[in-house]
Amino acid sequence: VQLVESGGGLVQAGGSLRLACATSGFPFGDHAIGWFRQAPGKEREGVACIRSEDQRTLYAGSVKGRFTISADSAKNTVYLQMNNLKPEDTANYYCAVDPVLPITVSSWRISDLGAWGQGIQVTVSS
């Protein structure tokens, strides 16, 4: 399994970024794929995930209405469009995959059958 993130960077508050996670090595359609983030001094938290076979999506309350997750099955790639970014969105963002879609993104745990990307930095200046 391979997950390769791209698209991070520095943006001013109110701006937008789009993260991409290019995947390989597992059945793209029936797995839960998405994003966690970890800010300095804080625990890693689930942000959003998607299961592309039924387009089921889940979001953390803190990003609902601002972030949109989508999946391109032809490219085996998941995107996270982040709009109206806030300084509190500053974190290292990790792509992750697991065979099981969680009930909520806050309860999402990556099992031994899942995988993580290397992480990519998103910095939002005020």
Give CA–CA dist 59/45, Å, rounded: 11
Alpha carbon separation from 63 to 17, 67, 106 (Å, rounded): 13, 6, 12
Give CA–CA dist 83/28, Å, rounded: 26
CA atoms within 13 A on the CB side of 90: 12
pLDDT-derived band of residue 14, with 50, 70 and 90 as boundaries?
very high
Percent of the chain's residues with pLDDT above 70: 100
Q: What residues pair up with 14 in beta bridges, in sequence order?
A: none
How does pLDDT run across 93-118, given as a tens digit for each residue?
999 999 999 999 999 999 999 999 99
